[in-house]
């Protein structure tokens, strides 16, 4: 990862999307931010708002803008910040950016640099930065809600609670070292073991919730499978609202896996249309069927389409049998017609119900990194408990608990995060 740019620089960028809009926001952060804003807008208070005419170095008017100034303790980055809310015409933003570029001591911001400064100045912890990244890329309501919880500090608060309780356990253990030649007021081990057991249980439960959240971030996969000509591609097109797959009365038309990503009842879902499952008629179709079986096996849910008069598939826990072409031959159970739309609302509701049930265990974690840190901390606690059971030296128990503490610190970015910062901030746009 390339080293972070100097935090002493004053940076600026367009914080809203480029292009024509009603309003554009240009952000300036750093020690020279107040001077830069005043160079364009005239005298300003350290923390306030005013409507001003922006002018370039020659005194030519650029635009009329709402100018916001933020003192360091009240700004997003923890530095002096100024925001220029101009009209959103591309010519206006380009002119203001040129005027900022001409000021000494200012440079354009890099992707994610404002947020990185917020992290370095203690305004956000690492988990909140990750939550913000996911909030900016959220496509569905479920993703928005989960990302917003983490950005609001839910994971940091939870980690702080775990850390405080683990520090209590460490303090109790280290008291037996510090006062080994004196009388310790009480037997500390029952309380230490109780703290360890409770923390380990909570960490493992939250790690499982983080794994579920990771699936929510990436999106669930729902495979549509069944024999040829049962209406798989027609169903995919109907749910997607467009002709994503070729439909034909000729069996074996679909020979590869076709994917369509969509918002299904607030959940991110990738629908997968697969080749019809039958004995292949040629080598190319055989490859498509093999791919279909493999991809369907890895999906979160499989919609088994079958026709009336044919035996319904024996469903597993992740299978949903559905009678297809119910307009031609109705039957019992969940039935649909991809041609008329009959039963599609019920199918979508059932898919959403099953996938939503999987999110019931969501915790405050969001990423695989969070799950690994929690499980590593839980593993250290399990090891500490085993050491206590066999009467290991107190110093070894204390060091094991301190290793668990370091895992919790890594969770929110207190230690050992430089190797992942580049990947995180690469996903941010310039201006954020």
Q: Which residues are annotated as a binding site for Mg(2+)?
A: 233, 254
**H/E run at residue 294:** helix 283-298
Task: Please provide residue 80's backbone torsions phi and psi, each rounded to the nearest 5 degrees.
Answer: -60, 130
User: What are the binding residues for GTP?
Assistant: 229-234, 248-254, 273-276
User: What are the binding residues for K(+)?
Assistant: 229, 248, 250, 253
Neighbours of 385 (CB within 10 A): 16
Chain Cα centroid distance, residue 421: 15
Between CA 321 and CA 226 the distance in angstroms is 10
Residue from 118, 111, 156 nearest 422 by CA = 111
User: What are the binding residues for (6S)-5-formyl-5,6,7,8-tetrahydrofolate?
Assistant: 27, 83, 123, 432
Distances in Å between the Cα of 76 and the Cα atoms of 79, 81, 114, 120 are: 8, 8, 8, 12
The end-to-end CA distance of the chain, in Å, is 19
Neighbours of 281 (CB within 10 A): 11
For residues 171 and 342, the answer to whether their CB atoms sit within 8 Å is no
User: What are the binding residues?
Assistant: 27, 83, 123, 229-234, 248-254, 273-276, 432
Between CA 9 and CA 110 the distance in angstroms is 12
Tokens linked to 243? 């002709």
């Amino acid at each position: 990862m390339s080293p972070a740019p100097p935090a002493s620089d004053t940076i600026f960028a367009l914080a809203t999307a480029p292009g024509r809009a009603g309003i554009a926001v240009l952000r300036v952060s750093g020690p020279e931010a107040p001077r830069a804003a005043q160079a364009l807008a005239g005298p300003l208070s350290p923390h306030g708002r005013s409507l001003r005419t922006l002018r370039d170095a020659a005194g030519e008017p650029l635009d009329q803008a709402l100018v916001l100034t933020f003192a360091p303790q009240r700004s997003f980055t923890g530095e002096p910040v100024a925001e220029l809310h101009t009209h959103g015409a591309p010519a206006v933003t380009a002119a203001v950016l040129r005027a900022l570029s001409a000021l000494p001591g200012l440079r354009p911001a890099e992707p994610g640099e404002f947020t990185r400064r917020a992290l370095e100045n203690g305004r956000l912890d690492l988990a909140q930065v990750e939550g913000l990244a996911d909030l900016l890329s959220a496509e569905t309501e479920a993703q928005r809600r989960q990302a917003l919880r983490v950005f609001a500090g839910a994971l940091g608060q939870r980690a702080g609670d775990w850390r405080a309780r683990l520090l209590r356990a460490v303090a109790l253990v280290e008291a037996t070292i510090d006062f080994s030649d004196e009388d310790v007021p009480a037997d500390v081990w029952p309380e230490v073991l109780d703290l360890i057991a409770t923390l380990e249980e909570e960490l493992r439960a939250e790690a499982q919730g983080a794994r579920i959240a990771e699936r929510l971030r990436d999106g669930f996969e729902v495979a549509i499978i069944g024999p040829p000509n049962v209406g798989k591609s027609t169903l995919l097109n109907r749910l997607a609202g467009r002709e994503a797959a070729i439909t034909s009365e000729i069996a074996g038309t679909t020979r590869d896996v076709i994917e369509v990503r969509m918002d299904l009842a607030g959940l991110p879902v990738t629908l997968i249309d697969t080749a019809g499952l039958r004995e292949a008629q040629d080598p190319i179709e055989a490859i498509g069927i093999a791919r279909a079986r493999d991809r369907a096996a890895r999906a979160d849910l499989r919609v088994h389409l079958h026709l009336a008069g044919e035996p319904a598939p024996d469903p597993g826990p992740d299978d949903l049998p559905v009678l297809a072409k119910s307009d031609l031959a109705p039957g019992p159970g969940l039935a649909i017609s991809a041609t008329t739309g009959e039963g599609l609302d019920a199918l979508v509701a059932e898919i959403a119900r099953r996938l939503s049930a999987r999110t019931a265990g969501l915790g405050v974690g969001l990423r695989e990194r969070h799950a690994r840190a929690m499980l590593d901390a839980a593993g250290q606690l399990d090891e500490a408990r085993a050491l206590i059971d066999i009467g290991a030296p107190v110093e070894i128990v204390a060091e094991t608990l301190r290793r668990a503490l370091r895992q919790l610190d890594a969770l929110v970015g207190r230690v050992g995060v430089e190797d992942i910062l580049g990947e995180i901030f690469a996903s941010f746009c310039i201006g954020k």
